[in-house]
């Protein structure tokens, strides 16, 4: 939502899309936001603030390598066929 407000404040009329990730575009919109006194909001989930401890807990699954993401195909294979 912040990106839309930043672009509107600049009276932006063209398309502005990161598409394939481009740090330059992210930096540009971040810099424009700073000039408008925008700040990064605290992380929220289901309209509740997420504590730093919760974030670190979730990160721990990825750091130690114990959590492996499955492809969509593998995840979908859990469904049993009904005959």
pLDDT tens-digit readout, 68-82: 666 655 555 555 555
Rounded to whole angstroms, what are the CA distances from 51 to 44, 58, 65? 9, 11, 22
Instruction: Give 13's pLDDT tier (boundaries 50, 70, 90).
Output: confident
Residue 12 covered by a domain: yes
Please name the residue that has the structure tokens 């936001």.
33
Residue 83 covered by a domain: no
Q: How many whole angstroms separate alpha carbon 66 and alpha carbon 62?
A: 7
Q: In total, how many domains does the chain have?
A: 1
Residue 28 covered by a domain: yes
pTM: 0.49
Show the domain range for 67.
2-76
Locate 32 and state its tokens: 């424009």
Q: What's the confidence (pLDDT) of residue 74?
A: 58
pLDDT tens digits along 17-69: 756 777 888 889 889 999 999 988 888 999 999 999 998 888 887 777 666 66
């Amino acid at each position: 939502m912040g990106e839309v407000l930043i672009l509107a404040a600049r009276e932006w009329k063209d398309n502005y899309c990161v598409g394939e990730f481009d740090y330059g575009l992210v930096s540009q919109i971040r810099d424009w936001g700073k000039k408008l006194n925008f700040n990064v909001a605290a992380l929220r989930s289901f309209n509740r603030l997420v504590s730093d401890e919760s974030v670190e807990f979730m990160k721990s699954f990825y750091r130690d390598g114990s959590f492996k993401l499955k492809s969509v195909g593998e995840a979908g294979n859990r469904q049993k066929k009904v005959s």
